[in-house]
Structures are given as C-alpha cells and as structure tokens.
Amino acid sequence: MNICIIGGTGFVGTYMVNALASQGHAIKIITRRPECHRHLRTLPTVKLSTIDFFGSKILERQIDTYDVVINLAGILNPAGQNTFELVHEKVADRVVQATQAVGTPRLLHMSALNADENAASQYLISKGKTQKSVLATEGLNVTTFSPSVIFGPQDSFFNRFASLLKMMPVFFPLACANARFAPVFIGDVVDAFIHSIDNPQTYGKNYNLCGPQSYSLYELVQYTAQQIDSSSRIVPLNNFFSKPLTMMMDLFPGSPITMDNYNSMKKESVCSHSMAEELNVKPRSIESIVPQYLSGKDFAGQMDELRKQSRR
Ligand SMILES: NC(=O)c1ccc[n+]([C@@H]2O[C@H](COP(=O)([O-])OP(=O)(O)OC[C@H]3O[C@@H](n4cnc5c(N)ncnc54)[C@H](OP(=O)(O)O)[C@@H]3O)[C@@H](O)[C@H]2O)c1
C-alpha cells in the first residue's frame, strides 16, 4: 500500500514508519524539517517531503495516489507559532479536507484520551474539537485513536522522569501525584492503527487505547526510580502544593510540567477496557517492556527486539 504520514518523524511516527516499512509498504512522510530526519530516509521504501499545508491544493497533490493517510501531528505544549489551534485543529482540518477532496480510501487520525471540547486543558479541548469534527465528516472512512500516555524507547514519560530523578538524587517533589494513567506500549498503539486499516468494522469510530493496568503518577515515578536504582525520596504533593509548584515551573522554558498539563491531569487518563477486541491487540504491561529500555542498552537493538516481539 501507499501510505502518507503526517507527524511521521516523532516518537510514535518513527515507530509506525519502521513497522509499516518492514511490512513492505511505500511511505511518504510529510515533515516541516526533512533535514533533521535523514535517518528515516535510510529505510528503502520511505521518502520525506515538506509542504505548505495551507497552499492551494498542495496537500491534495501530495496525497492524491495514496491508499491511506495517517495524521499523527501533535504537540504537548505550544512553542511560538506552533499552537494547539494550528497543529491540532487547522492542520488536521486541512488533512480532512484534502482526503475528502481526492477521495483517499482510508484516514487514521491520532487524538488523545479524554479529548473533549469541554475539557479543562487547551490540549484536550483542541484534540476534542477535531476528534468530533473528523468523525462527523461525511464520506470518509476514518478511525480516530485516543491513547493514554504512550511508553516505549525514547518516550518522554519514563525517560523524562528517569532524567529528573537523576538530576534530583536526594529529594523529588511530585506534583499531581494522585493523577492516574494506564500507560500503553507504543508497539500496541502502532498495531491498533495497522490492524484497523483493512477492517471496515472500525470505520467512523474512536478507540480509546490503554495498557492493561492503571497506576497513580506516584506509583509510576516510584517504579521508574526502582528501575534506575535511584534512592531519591519521592514526595507526593497534595493539591494545595501541586498548583503553586506547577505555576512556578511553568514560568521556565522547557519546564517538565505546565499549567495545561496540570489541568489535563484533573481527569484520570484510564479506560474502562484497555482495547476494543476488533483491534486484535493484547496490550503489554510496563513491567514487560520498560526495564528493557531504562536499562540503557543500545537503542537500535531495543527497537528491533520490541518490533520482533510485536510480530509474535
Ligand atoms: N506520546 C504520548 O504519550 C501521546 C499520548 C496521547 C496522544 N498522543 C498524540 O500522538 C501524536 C504523536 O505524538 P508523539 O509523542 O509522537 O509526538 P512528537 O514526538 O512530538 O511528534 C510530533 C509530530 O508532530 C509533527 N508536527 C508538530 N507540529 C506540526 C505542524 N505545525 N505541522 C505539521 N506537523 C507538525 C512533527 O513533525 P515535524 O517536526 O517533522 O514537522 C512530529 O512528527 C500526537 O498527536 C500526540 O498528541 C501522544
């Protein structure tokens, strides 16, 4: 199949591209900075392209002969002109318009768990508006996916906490310690996308994607500390202290937590069932995967091994 991926250079995208390329599909990745992702060009069936999403009919020409379009573009925090409205709404709307205009047979769209126009965070509001409008678009064979936090080699969850714990080896104040997540393995997210491509049962639906178990943020950070042998004392902060700490941290560029992240954690990021049966994925636990990459083993080797495990 010919598959065009927007957001194919990121954490999820790179795993997805590798998985699809290993199955022999021809892939075009649309990226703003092809020069930063030359490693993806080394895959024989992958090419990179850069476009102006808002130029007249440019996106339409790029996807015209493609069987599947996958939109993974997203940001957790806005940076300069790259706002939630631009990435999650305007770019996503253009993708929908273009796929509709050229009659792309299949569109897969990445949303987020708890995406909702009435959510407390701008991230979830922007994701929610688009999820709703994408699913309501007439004449599209579309499926949307809403994962909880995604883990895997190079994730920005366990790896981020591991780095922070190393920076704070004695005392680790943790905001939103009671927030709950059901972390889902990147290989399972990618399998859910791939298995849905040819399955008409999944058309017009949103799928929440969770791992097999839910944990509090405190439990997940404790778990991370155990994996990296950190003896830092993790101090869970209650709501009274979490908010001012987050407000203070939000003032620093590159802060590990923003007020919008804080607001998104007000609602538990967990599912009633980890994954719908028709996706044909048996979600893996953090315990079966995370130790492999927090151990600091060679990254390329880990990716290969995890992909092999995905195919088993
Ligand atoms: N990671 C998680 O735990 C998680 C959980 C739930 C949902 N999600 C969603 O999953 C998707 C992928 O997440 P990720 O962790 O892989 O993110 P990531 O590593 O930050 O990658 C984001 C991708 O979005 C693209 N992008 C950013 N701004 C763009 C713009 N203005 N126009 C076009 N493309 C743009 C980037 O492409 P270029 O820089 O190459 O242009 C990049 O490939 C996102 O939609 C995210 O919201 C992620």
Residue 309 pLDDT level (bands cut at 50, 70, 90)? low
Q: Whose alpha carbon is nearest atom 36 of ligand 1?
A: 7
Residue 261 has pLDDT above 80, yes or no: yes
Q: Which tokens go with 176? A: 């939103």
DSSP state of 105: S
Kindly indicate the confidence band of residue 180, based on its pLDDT and cuts at 50, 70 and 90: very high
Amino acid at 189: V
Can you give the residue ranges of every domain in the chain? 2-149+185-210+270-284+296-311
Question: For residue 308, is pLDDT > 70?
Answer: no
Atom number in ligand 1 closest to CA 7: 43
Question: Is the C-beta atom of 13 inside 6 A of ligand 1?
Answer: yes
Task: Say yes or no: CB of residue 236 within 6 Å of ligand 1.
Answer: no
Question: How far is Cα 217 from Cα 200, in angstroms, rounded to an integer?
Answer: 37
User: In the numeric block, which tokens belong to residue 261?
Assistant: 């992240």
The CATH code of domain 2-149+185-210+270-284+296-311 reads 3.40.50.720
- Report the nearest-CA residue for atom 2 of ligand 1: 150
| Res 300: pLDDT | 56
User: Ligand 1: distance of its center to the CA of 8 in Å?
Assistant: 8
Q: What is the pLDDT of residue 255?
A: 83
The answer to whether 58 and 100 have CB atoms below 8 angstroms apart is: no
Ligand 1 lined by 51 (C-beta under 6 Å): no
Going by their DSSP bridges, the two strands 180-181 and 215-216 should be labelled as antiparallel
Please give the structure tokens belonging to residue 82.
């790259």
**What are the structure tokens assigned to 84, written together?**
């939630």
Q: What is the pLDDT of residues 22-74, one digit of tens each?
A: 999 999 999 999 999 988 989 999 999 999 999 999 999 999 999 999 999 99
Q: What is the mean pLDDT of the chain?
A: 94
Tokens at 107, concatenated: 């569109």
Q: Which residue has the tokens 């990254």?
A: 299
What number is the average pLDDT over the span 184-200? Answer: 98
**Interval 105-140: pLDDT, tens:** 999 999 999 999 999 999 999 999 999 999 999 999
Query: H/E element holding 62?
Result: helix 58-63
How many angstroms does the Cα of residue 246 sit away from the middle of ligand 1? Answer: 23
Pocket probe for ligand 1: among 9, 18, 48, 267, the residue whose CB has the most ligand atoms within 8 Å is 9
Give 190 Cα–ligand 1 centroid separation in angstroms.
Answer: 14
CA distances from 56 to 38, 71, 137, 181, 267 (A): 28, 19, 21, 41, 40
pLDDT of residue 97 exceeding 60: yes
What pLDDT is stored for residue 239 in this prediction?
Answer: 83
Query: Span 168-193, mean pLDDT?
Result: 97
Q: What is the model's pLDDT at position 184?
A: 98
Question: Is the CB of residue 12 below 6 angstroms from any atom belonging to ligand 1?
Answer: yes
Please compute the mean of the pLDDT values over residues 227-239 and round it to a whole number: 94
Atom of ligand 1 nearest to the CA of 73: 24
CB contact at 8 A, 157 and 227 = no
Contact 126, 91 (CB under 8 A): no
- From 234, 215, 228, 225, select the one nearest 175 (Cα to Cα): 234
pLDDT given for residue 155 in this prediction? 97
